[in-house]
Amino acid sequence: MAKQFDSLSDQLTGFIARQHIFFTATAAPTGRVNISPRPTTCLKVLGPNDIAYLDRTGSGNETAAHLRQLNRMTIMFCAVDGPPNILRLYGRGEILPRGGEAYHALLASAFDGDEPNGARQIVRMDIEMAQTSCGYGVPLFDYQGERASIDNWTNAKTEEELEAYRREKNAVGIDGFPSGMFKGR
């Protein structure tokens, strides 16, 4: 049932475009494995082996902390409506810190320069392998829309308040690994 590919085909890219959610998984050599849900509205397929998503301020920053330790990463999409399918992307991830040259270049070229309030970094992944599987066990769900929660939360804060929150909650991961957001931490 599972099929493996060296890169994303037009068919796989189309499948990604039809999804509303994806999950990122990372792990350092020790400590906890992290899995985070993300909306596909922040994701861009940059090429057959290149994908990126604009990451917003959250309650933790495990992905960044893990990628600094060990840059392996998996991204998973699963069809919750329509024909069953699961797509996993395996590869190497990197963090493009907000304010850096690479961040601004990719923000301009892939995200039309649109930086939502609360943006903290771009996560970019070099895809080494894509794998599909049946998805027969994934339940059906009805998509109702995007939540306004993160917009409401970030829009209620000043840039200084967001920076203070990031310093408190995003500087290190739950296992104590630095996220790289701040020098010296």
Domain boundaries, the chain: 3-135+147-169
Stated pTM of the model: 0.96
Average pLDDT over all residues of the chain: 96
Please list, in sequence order, all residues whose beta carbon lies within 8 angstroms of the beta carbon of residue 142, skipping any fewer than 6 positions away.
81
Q: What is the CATH number of domain 3-135+147-169?
A: 2.30.110.10
pLDDT, tens digit, for every residue of 104-146? 999 999 999 999 999 999 999 999 999 999 999 999 999 999 9
Name the E strands within the chain. Answer: 3-5, 21-27, 33-39, 43-47, 50-56, 72-78, 86-97, 119-133
Question: 130 pairs with which residues across the strands?
Answer: 5, 89
Residue 184, pLDDT score? 61
What is d(CA 52, CA 106) in angstroms, rounded to the nearest whole number? 9
Residue 183, pLDDT score? 78
Residue 185, pLDDT score? 55
pLDDT, tens digit, for every residue of 20-69? 999 999 999 999 999 999 999 999 999 999 999 999 999 999 999 999 99
- Contact status, residue 24 vs residue 77, Cβ threshold 8 Å: no
- Contact status, residue 73 vs residue 125, Cβ threshold 8 Å: yes
